[in-house]
Amino acid sequence: MWERVKTFASEFFVTGDPLIYGADVSIVITILGIVIGLTYFNKWGWLWREWLTTVDHKKIGIMYILAAFIMLFRGGVDALLMRAQLAAPEMNLLPPDHYNQIFTTHGVIMILFMAMPFMFGLFNVMVPLQIGARDVAYPFLNALSFWLFFSGAMLFNLSFVIGGSPDAGWLAYPPYSGIMHNPGVGQDFYIWGIQISGIGSLMTGINFIVTILKMRAPGMKLMKMPMFPWSVLSSCIAIIFSFPILTATLALLFLDRYAGAHFFTLDGGGNPMMYINLIWMWGHPEVYIIVLPAFGIFSEIVSTFAKKKLFGYKSMVYAMMIISILSFLVWAHHFFTMGSGADVNAFFALTTMLIAIPTGVKVFNWLFTMFRGKITFETPMLWTMGFIPCFIVGGLTGVLLSVAPADFQFHNSYFLVAHFHQVIIGGVVFGYFAGLYYWWPKLFGFKLNERIGKWAFWFWNIGFYLCFMPQYALGLMGMTRRVVTYGWDKGWWEMNLVSTIGAGLMGIAFLFQVWQIVYSVKHLRKDETGDPWNGRTLEWSIPSPAPVYNFATLPHVTSQDEWWEEKQRRLQGHPAPAPVKIEPIHMPKNSGIPIVMSMFWFFTGFGFIFDWLWLAIPGLVGVAACMLVHSFNYDTDYYIPVEEIKRTESAIRGVTS
Amino acid sequence: MQHDMSPSHADKNHGSLKSYTIGFVFSILLTIIPITVVMSGWLAGKASAIILMVTAVLQLVVQLIFFMHLREEKKPRYNLLTLILGLIILLVIVIGSMWIMMYNMVAL
Ligand code: HEM
Ligand SMILES: [Cu+2]
């Protein structure tokens, strides 16, 4: 009996690597610490009522962002390990199979479990406030989306201590990801982790489209909407059309692995190239899904800190909509070398180059907005200034890559690695940081420390250029992507060393950011105004942090930068609009179903990964039961009475009004 | 009551017993046809494939009209717009994949 337990455990848990044992210990200690802390301070009930069952978009947003930060840490450690291994020739820090696992988990985590939740977090915290709504269209679904993402992410991360990590790259190309070459459970963790969180992403896409189309404050025509909700709309359109492709493709891969199908195998009439074709139909829109909201954030920030109306509002809207549709027409540029012939390559090279046009339009719009503005350089604006040159270079190298014949040289070299890190770090990550710094005071009621923020900014930027500029050159010198090591004779080591140093600087930058948050909480200086940046859009018209119901009375919108115009009107001596009579506010009730249902999904996934039907089937039954229970639950909403609203308002607005 | 949280409460005219029954009968028929075609082996090869695809498309149409109430939508017709965009992207996927993969018959 004991022997059987031992053999099971040695296969079930990942063993033999001191790094992983260290991680095991730290995971156990962290979990114990959290459990003991919650019990000691008697906070379980609070956690359950205020956070785990919440349907409040602001709290869900904060949880998304927190999860994204934790994932940024995990993905960042992966990155630093890889850079350490490549710092000098013939290093032996990571064995090749471990290196494969690390670059795989790094990519998946950074895109799907860092960028996506960070983005959804920003959608959640700001879209309803900016369009003058009291919540998203489907608050219950919103909570479910979050918990599905969380289950998927946890399932994926578990692979690192249980069963073994996936190692077939962030897009898991067959045949290597097929059962024949990859019989372990790693690829199954990949499939189920992404599938479960993918359902959540799709639902968030639907939720925000409906929210933006149907829940704008009275008077806010689409063309009077702030730019961030526009970018969210364009990104969500791409989500609802591309995520089903991902789900279908991974389902086919799952059937290949689990049920012996032959969609992507080399035998039985399958074709692995088909997988590559399908996965990029999601993969390319995905990169635009994550970058479009960053464009929206920069637009808001540029106009706030230049104190000018955004230049070319309409062209910005059209540019974003065009990008979100055009992003479905370029996917083959990721496999020019597959050999689809000159016609195919020429067509997709052209469509790819076309995308650079609307992108360029946006850059000019930002520059013209700044032109003759009274610019101030607080941290959100600083990140925007860092973004513009970085993204221009990244976009230009993208155009180089889109020249199909030249891509035969660049493809899967470090040149490509440098390109996509430049657009993703310089565009997406900088954008989300800018958004977080910008909206932080609205979320928590105080600003983050500017001085430490500036250190973080410079470390990120200098680190970025040191890390990735040499990689362009290395790529041209022949260094291919995903190599585990290289020889002294190649002449690559100096630049690799520089690159590793740059990565280290970005690691330090991350620590600065953590310190910045801790420091700002300790030396908290409450922002009483609710409008610390002299903002232009509706979110700044309410107190920070916003009360549960956001707006005591719904604003009536007449112009594009409504709050700015309102402030101008008041400065010119027009009286503030007469207070509208407060009425009871209709709000959604908390629900425990989202988290419970996501737990059942987790068990289902885990059961399929290990082929334990005794776990997978009860998991699915649980999911169905949760749906049933929710469909018969009619007690889903309540009214906040007028008295309570008045009390809350006078408490937060204090003496000011 | 005017601050209704959920946007779906706005349009309440969701079909009648008659339209639901018609829809139900149609969708059952469109399920039975492909099943019998496959199980009984009346048709083989291309013919059965065509029947399967045609019934699938008709099924989609029935669902959209009788259960998703596509015709009853008020302006602006976001659902219709989304559906059209979805169909366009579907065509891009199918035609694009066929075009790209034509040169890639390595496994055959
Ligand atoms: C002007 C805009 C852009 C152009 C013309 C462009 C072009 C390209 C091309 C042709 C490739 C394939 C190269 C190869 O595999 O050899 C590529 C790869 C990539 N691009 Fe871009 N790109 C642009 C913007 C972006 C943006 C905004 C993002 C993300 C936010 C992005 C993320 C990526 C990623 C992740 C890959 C590589 C994925 C992989 O192979 O694993 N690109 N780009
Ligand atoms: Cu692409």
DSSP track, A10-68? HHHB--S-HHHHHHHHHHHHHHHHHHHHHHHTT-HHHIIIIIIT---HHHHHHHHHHHH
Q: How many domains does chain B have?
A: 2
Domain extent, residue B26, equals 1-72
Task: Please indicate, yes or no, if residue A22 is contained in any of the structural domains.
Answer: no
Residue B68 shares a structural domain with residue B27 = yes
Say what percent of chain A tops pLDDT 70.
Answer: 99
Q: Give how far A154 is from chain B: nearest CA, Å.
A: 31
First and final C-alpha spacing in chain B:
64
- Are residues B43 and B96 located together in one domain of the fold? no
* Residues A298-316 as b or e (16 or more Cβ within 10 Å = b): bbbbbbbbbebbbbbbeeb
d(CA A536, CA A538): 7
Has residue B7 got a pLDDT over 70? Answer: no
**Same domain, residue pair B17 and B55:** yes
Q: How far is CA A460 from the centre of its chain?
A: 18
pLDDT tens, position by position, A362-400: 999 999 999 988 899 999 999 999 999 999 999 999 999
Chain B 43-102, CB below 8 Å of chain A: which residues?
Answer: 78, 82, 85-86, 89, 92-93, 96-97, 99-102
pTM here is 0.93
| Residue A216 clears pLDDT 60, i.e. is over it | yes
| Mean pLDDT within A84-88 | 95
Tell whether B87 and B49 lie within a shared domain.
no
**Lowest mean pLDDT: which of A361-375, A631-645, B5-19?**
B5-19
**Could you tell me the distance, in angstroms and rounded to a whole number, from the CA of residue A327 to the centre of ligand 2?**
8
Q: Residue A657 pLDDT more than 70?
A: no
Same domain, B54 and B105: no
Query: Of the given ranges (A39-48, A566-575, B40-49), which has the lowest mean pLDDT?
Result: B40-49
Interface probe with B: pick from A222, A282, A331, A554, most Cβ of B within 10 Å: A331
Look at ligand 1, atom 27, and give the residue with the nearest C-alpha. Answer: A423
Tell me, what DSSP letter sits at residue A403?
S
> Which of A215, A245, A332 has its CB closest to that of B93?
A245
Q: CB neighbours (10 Å) of residue B93?
A: 18
Name the pLDDT band for A648 (thresholds 50, 70, 90).
confident
- From first CA to last CA, the distance across chain A in angstroms is 73
Structural domain boundaries enclosing A569: 43-580
In a domain, A32, yes or no: no
Minimum Cα–Cα distance from B92: chain A residue: A329
Residues in chain B closer than 8 A to A281 (CB atoms): 93, 96-97
Return the pLDDT at A654.
65
* Residue A17 identity (one-letter amino acid): D
Q: Residue A427 is part of a domain; what is its CATH number?
A: 1.20.210.10
A500, pLDDT greater than 80: yes
Other CB atoms within 10 A of residue A158 CB: 18
Query: Which residue's entry shows tokens 């004991």?
Result: A2
**Distance between CA A148 and CA A68 in Å, rounded?**
14
Whether residue B24 sits in one domain with residue B13: yes
* C-alpha span between A560 and B59 (Å, rounded): 44
CA dist., res. A100 & res. A341, Å (int): 31
pLDDT digits (tens, 9 = 90+) for A508-563: 999 999 999 999 999 988 888 889 999 999 999 999 899 999 998 898 898 888 89
Q: What is the pLDDT of residue B104?
A: 62
Q: What is the pLDDT of residue B12?
A: 52
A33 or A253, greater pLDDT: A253
Instruction: Judge: B107–A269 Cβ closer than 8 Å, yes or no.
Output: yes
pLDDT at A39: 87
Q: Are both B12 and B64 inside the same structural domain?
A: yes
Residue with tokens 């027009």: A574
Q: Are residues B1 and B36 in the same domain?
A: yes
Is A588 in Cβ contact with B89 (below 8 Å)?
no
Give residue B5's pLDDT band: very low, low, confident or very high (50, 70, 90). very low
| CA distance to partner chain B, nearest, from residue A377 (Å) | 39
pLDDT tens-place string over residues A423-452 = 999 999 999 999 999 999 999 999 999 999
> pLDDT category, B13, cuts 50, 70, 90?
low
With respect to residue A241, please indicate whether it lies within any of the assigned structural domains: yes
Question: Considering every ligand atom, which ligand is closest to the CA of A335?
Answer: 1
* A320, two tokens: 């974003």
Can you tell me the mean pLDDT for B78-94? 91
The CA distance from A169 to the nearest CA of chain B, in Å, is 22
Q: Ligand 1: which of A334, A350, A396, A425 to mutate, judged by most atoms within 8 Å of the beta carbon?
A: A334
Q: How far is the CA of A334 from the centre of ligand 2 (A)?
A: 6
Query: Average pLDDT for residues B80-100, to the nearest whole number?
Result: 92
* CB pair distance less than 8 Å for B5 and A135: yes
Residue of B nearest to A338 (CA): B104
Q: How far apart are CA A126 and CA A293, in angstroms?
A: 11
Separation of CA A655 and ligand 1 centre (Å):
53
Distance from CA of A485 to the nearest CA of B (A): 32
Question: How many structural domains comprise chain A?
Answer: 1
Q: How far is the CA of A333 from the centre of ligand 1 (A)?
A: 8
* Same domain assignment for residues B97 and B60: no
Provide the pLDDT for residue A483: 95
* Helix-helix angle A450-476:A414-423, to 10 degrees: 150
What percent of chain A shows pLDDT beyond 90? 80
Instruction: Please give the mean pLDDT across all residues of chain A.
Output: 93
Render A258-313 in DSSP notation, one character per residue.
Answer: HH---SSSSSTT--HHHHHHHHHHHHHHHHHHHHHHHHHHHHHHHHHHTTSPPTTH
Contacts with B88 (C-beta within 8 Å, 6 or more apart), sequence order: none
